[in-house]
């Protein structure tokens, strides 16, 4: 899939465009995107510019978003570099200069709550009133009686409910980064871990222990649908928290114990796809008690990953 910044977009050709922030590219977003040959999105998230105090933790980086959208068969992702100047652009200007002038839109697909232009004055009625393109408005998707939204998914992840979040996303939530050096406490206990430092700009599951699939040797997150020919996959028991059993002085850390893996991952890319929460974070009376629980966590992880295969 081609990724283009709006100022560099190829003009003079017709496009069927899906428009939205699409953080997470969840099941509701996918209904909006279906049938489009181009997707128009914003980076950074518009809220970070117009109301920075309310900036959400993102479900996806721009690269991750591009991978997920590309996996849907879309040919082009057009990225609007959203800044204060663009935020001042009127709804009429967005319609005239961007949708029609730059993109040559013949079809515009949006979610029913999409708004655009300065002070969010543009809405679906304004788009539908323009006869130069067809406007398709998708109702908000409901799953089990709840509306699918990026904010709801963030809340589920924060509560540790990764299986429920995955149901709304349509794929396993993933985090990716380079493996950092830790204090090797896990190695001393017989469970050497690969450590990731959480990115404060990104959503992260709440403190606890999770069954995951780890992918090594991969530069970024995949579409979550399974092996894609890059990297090697392993079941992984993953702890997120501050390690309450030991007084380490460290901040929040993501520690992944890769089952049946023996190797050096320091400074290497690692992706973790979250399948299920095993338990909450808690303090143990001794290292021995912690090891016994970790052994149970590993057994549970192995069973969950095997059942998914």
Q: Read off the pLDDT of each residue in 184-207 and give the average, rounded to a whole number.
A: 85
Peptide bond preceding 192 in cis form (omega within 30 of 0): no
Paired tokens of 64: 């991750």
The model's pLDDT over 51-94, given as tens digits with 9 standing for 90+, comes to 999 999 999 999 999 999 999 999 999 999 999 999 999 999 99
82 and 190 assigned to the same domain: no
134 and 177 assigned to the same domain: no
188 pLDDT band, cuts 50/70/90, is: low
Q: Which of 2-11, 181-190, 218-227, 286-295 shows the lowest mean pLDDT across its residues?
A: 218-227
74 and 186 assigned to the same domain: no
CATH code of the domain containing 120: 3.40.50.620
303 and 182 assigned to the same domain: yes
Domain tally for the chain?
2
Between 223 and 120, residue with greater pLDDT: 120
Paired tokens of 15: 């496009």
Q: Please say if the pLDDT value at position 142 is more than 70.
A: yes
197 and 269 assigned to the same domain: yes
**CB contact burial 228-242 (16+ within 10 A = b; e otherwise):** eeebebbbbbbbbbe
What pLDDT shows up at residue 187?
57
135 and 7 assigned to the same domain: yes
CA 16 – CA 20 distance, rounded (Å): 14
Q: Read off the pLDDT of each residue in 255-282 and give the average, rounded to a whole number.
A: 95
What's the predicted TM-score (pTM) here?
0.91
What pLDDT shows up at residue 181?
84
Q: What is the DSSP letter of 267?
A: T
The model's pLDDT over 228-244, given as tens digits with 9 standing for 90+, comes to 445 799 999 999 998 65
What pLDDT shows up at residue 221?
43
What pLDDT shows up at residue 15?
98
What pLDDT shows up at residue 67?
96
76 and 213 assigned to the same domain: no
Does residue 165 sit within a domain? Answer: no
Torsion, Cα 6 10 15 19, to 10 degrees, reads -10
Does residue 64 sit within a domain? Answer: yes
Does residue 163 sit within a domain? Answer: no
Range of the domain at 40: 2-147
Does residue 159 sit within a domain? Answer: no
**What backbone torsions phi and psi does residue 148 show, to the nearest 5 degrees?**
-80, 120
CA 248 – CA 250 distance, rounded (Å): 5
Cβ(213)–Cβ(273) below 8 Å:
yes
Does residue 168 sit within a domain? Answer: no
**What backbone torsions phi and psi does residue 305 show, to the nearest 5 degrees?**
-70, -40
Q: Which residues contact 160 (CB under 8 A, 6 or more apart)?
A: 205, 206, 207, 208, 210, 277, 280
Does residue 241 sit within a domain? Answer: yes
189 and 141 assigned to the same domain: no
> Whole-number mean pLDDT of the chain?
92
The model's pLDDT over 199-226, given as tens digits with 9 standing for 90+, comes to 999 999 999 999 999 999 855 544 433 3
Closest by Cα among 179, 202, 194, 303 to 255: 194
CATH code of the domain containing 295: 2.40.30.30
**What backbone torsions phi and psi does residue 234 show, to the nearest 5 degrees?**
-140, 145
């Amino acid at each position: 899939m081609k990724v283009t910044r709006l100022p560099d977009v190829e003009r003079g050709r017709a496009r069927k465009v899906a428009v939205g922030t699409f953080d997470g590219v969840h099941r509701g977003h996918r209904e909006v995107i279906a049938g489009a040959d181009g997707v128009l999105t914003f980076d950074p998230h518009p809220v970070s510019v117009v109301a920075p105090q309310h900036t959400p933790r993102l479900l996806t980086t721009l690269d991750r978003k591009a991978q997920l959208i590309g996996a849907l068969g879309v040919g082009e992702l057009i990225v609007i570099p959203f800044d204060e100047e663009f935020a001042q652009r009127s709804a009429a200007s967005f319609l005239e200069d961007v949708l029609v002038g730059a993109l040559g839109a013949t079809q515009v697909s949006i979610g029913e709550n999409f708004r655009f232009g300065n002070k969010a004055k543009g809405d679906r009625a304004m788009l539908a009133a323009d006869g130069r393109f067809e406007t398709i408005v998708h109702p908000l998707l409901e799953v089990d009686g709840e509306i699918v939204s990026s904010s709801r998914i963030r809340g589920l992840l924060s509560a540790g409910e990764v299986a429920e979040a995955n149901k709304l996303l349509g794929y396993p939530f993933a985090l990716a980064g380079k493996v950092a050096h830790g204090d090797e406490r896990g190695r001393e206990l017989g469970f050497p871990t690969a450590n990731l430092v959480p990115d404060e700009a990104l959503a992260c599951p709440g403190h606890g222990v999770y069954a995951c699939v780890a992918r090594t040797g991969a530069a970024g997150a995949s579409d979550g649908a399974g092996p894609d020919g890059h990297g090697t996959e392993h079941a992984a028991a993953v702890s997120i928290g501050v390690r309450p059993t030991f007084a380490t002085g460290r901040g929040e850390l993501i520690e992944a114990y890769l089952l049946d893996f023996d190797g050096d991952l320091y400074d290497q890319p690692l992706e973790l796809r979250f399948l299920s929460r095993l338990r909450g974070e808690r303090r143990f009376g001794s290292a021995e008690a912690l090891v016994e629980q970790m052994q149970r966590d590993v057994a549970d992880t192995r069973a969950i990953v095997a059942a998914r295969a």
